Amino acid sequence: MKGGGEKAGLIIAVDGPSGAGKSTITKALADRLGYVHIDTGAMFRAVALTALRAGVDGSDDEGLARLCASLEIAFARTNGCCRVMANGEDVTDAIRTPEISLLTSTISARKVVRDFLLEVQRRMGRAGGVILEGRDIGTVVFPDADVKFFLTASVEERGRRRWLELAARGEQLTLAETIAAVARRDEQDSGREHAPLRRAADAVDVDSTGLSIDEVLDRMETIVREKERLLAMARQ
Ligand code: DC
């Protein structure tokens, strides 16, 4: 788990609240660096989908434990992009429904699920050359990550982005309602008992409010390249 050793590359943690642009940014940064992108939110979603299909309640810890014990989650990379696989089935699209988002929020608060995914995430990431995006990567999953980013944007900006997404899908919420919903979800993610959303003390803050994607990427890439250079020098 220690960063900087004889790995294929660095371990990079990107945490932050919903709507900060984490997925877009981490995917693009992984492409720039030639790193593997690990979307840990998708892993929680895959557990939620499997639970829903199996009729396991989001608060049934024994049922969830059994389900996790027989669940294999993987990322398949076809044409450079990543499909989420649960027991061999491509669930990439099925995990993106509002119903699954809601259930994921519940099951991601269960310790039994977090413990299971903690191991899976560490196994996937420990070889290095990876960017993991989530809520507790820099604080819990890889507290020794080589580079940690805390990516955020103002609640108004995140609400506005979400509102545009919803409007494009034909959903009819007002901007004010959407901003309030984002603020509520922040509170839920930050207030839960297990692995709440928290900025690691040694994370680099990146506030994407008013910045273009490329501006954010340039900043992050510069920091990663510098770290790669320092570690390469230290190894000589
Ligand atoms: O990033 P996302 O919207 O796909 O995340 C889905 C849910 O999973 C969200 O409610 C937060 C939770 N999550 C988590 O608790 N820990 C992570 N490392 C990633 C996501």
Give tens-digit pLDDT for 146-200: 999 999 999 999 999 889 988 888 888 899 999 998 888 888 777 777 777 889 9
Q: Sheet holding 204-207: strands in order across? A: 36-39, 130-134, 11-15, 147-152, 204-207
Provide the residue range defining the domain that includes 187: 11-235
Query: Ligand 1 test: best mutation among 104, 117, 136, most atoms within 8 Å of CB?
Result: 104
Q: Give the helix ranges, DSSP H, for 55-147.
A: 61-69, 98-107, 111-125
Give me 124's structure tokens: 């996937």
Residue 2 lies in a domain: no
Question: pLDDT category, 72, cuts 50, 70, 90?
Answer: very high
**Whole-model pTM over 0.85:** yes
Residue 101 has pLDDT above 50, yes or no: yes
Residue 6 lies in a domain: no
Residue 122 lies in a domain: yes
For the chain, the domain total comes to 1
Residue 1 lies in a domain: no
Residue 181 lies in a domain: yes
List the one residue out of 168, 166, 192, 190 whose CA is nearest residue 179: 166
Crossing angle of helices 61-69 and 111-125, in 10° steps, is 20
Pocket of ligand 1, beta carbon within 6 A: 18, 40-41, 44-45, 104-105, 108, 134-136, 189
Q: Across-strand partners of 74?
A: 85
Query: What stretches of 41-176 adopt beta strand conformation (E)?
Result: 73-78, 81-86, 89-90, 130-134, 147-152
3-state helix, strand and coil shares in percent for the chain, rounded to the nearest 5: 50, 15, 30
- Domain of residue 179, CATH code: 3.40.50.300
Q: Sheet holding 73-78: strands in order across? A: 73-78, 81-86, 89-90
Instruction: Point out the ligand 1 atom lying closest to the alpha carbon of residue 23.
Output: 1
Residue 183 lies in a domain: yes
- CA atoms within a 13 Å half-sphere pointing along the CA-CB vector of 90: 7
Residue 5 lies in a domain: no
Q: Whose CA is nearest to atom 9 of ligand 1?
A: 105
Residue 153 lies in a domain: yes
5-14: average pLDDT: 84
Percent of the chain with pLDDT over 90: 72
